[in-house]
Amino acid sequence: MRRYETTFIIDPDLPQEGRVQVIEKIKALIEKEKGIIVDVEEWGQRKLAYEIGKKVRGYYLCVNFCGSAKLVEELERTSRLDDKIMKYMTIMLQDNVNPEAVMAEIAATQLKKEEAAKQKAMGAEVSAPVDEKVAAFEGDDDEETEIDKEEA
């Protein structure tokens, strides 16, 4: 089993329901071919580097999964036939992946997402450690440092 990442550019003019159908179709195909979906990231609408079919924007979707080469061939064949998918690109991230390790990674990622959602619901910001460092630097502006004292 290998680990892959496929990035899709979906037609930006498609309504939300249409995009959800395309995403569900991709997920169903991966599961049908006995693949393991690690992560699905919706990057949203972005400007394209060049026009594709007279369109300057596209809806980006990144799917990280494990499976066989046969799965990738079927996924790309289906994407080629679907006119809602403007472009796609698959890269192999890792060869000879241990399925148990992947399942553990999925569980850990899910746990982190749930923790972040709980913290957000409670009003705590996830970036608090960064904010504390910024506050520490902001408070130092009024105090003279040893270098300032030596220059004076």
CA gap 96, 67 in Å, rounded: 10
pLDDT beyond 70 at 23: yes
| Buried b or exposed e, range 103-130, using 16+ CB within 10 angstroms | eeebeeeeeeeeeeeeeeeeeeeeeeee
The fold of the 2-97 domain, in CATH, is: Alpha-Beta Plaits (3.30.70)
pLDDT beyond 60 at 32: yes
pLDDT beyond 70 at 148: no
Give the CA distances from residue 127 to residues 66, 100, 116, in Å, rounded to whole numbers and listed in that order.
31, 31, 10
Please state the length of the chain.
152
CA gap 106, 133 in Å, rounded: 31
pLDDT beyond 90 at 42: yes
Q: In this structure, what token pair is assigned to residue 59?
A: 């809806």
Give the full edge-to-edge strand order of the sheet including 36-52: 36-52, 55-67, 2-10, 85-94
Q: At 100, is the pLDDT very low, low, confident or very high (cuts 50, 70, 90)?
A: confident
pLDDT beyond 80 at 139: no
Q: At 72, is the pLDDT very low, low, confident or very high (cuts 50, 70, 90)?
A: very high
- Given this model, what pLDDT does residue 122 score? 84
Q: For residues 97 and 55, which has the higher predicted lDDT (pLDDT)?
A: 55
Mean pLDDT value of segment 90-103: 90
- Given this model, what pLDDT does residue 87 score? 96
Q: What crossing angle do the helices spanning 69-81 and 16-32 adopt, rounded to 10°?
A: 150
Q: Range with the lowest mean pLDDT among 8-17, 98-107, 108-117, 135-144?
A: 135-144
Residue 18's CB is within 10 A of a number of other CB atoms, namely 14
In the Cβ-directed half-sphere of 107, how many Cα atoms lie within 13 Å?
6
- Given this model, what pLDDT does residue 131 score? 52
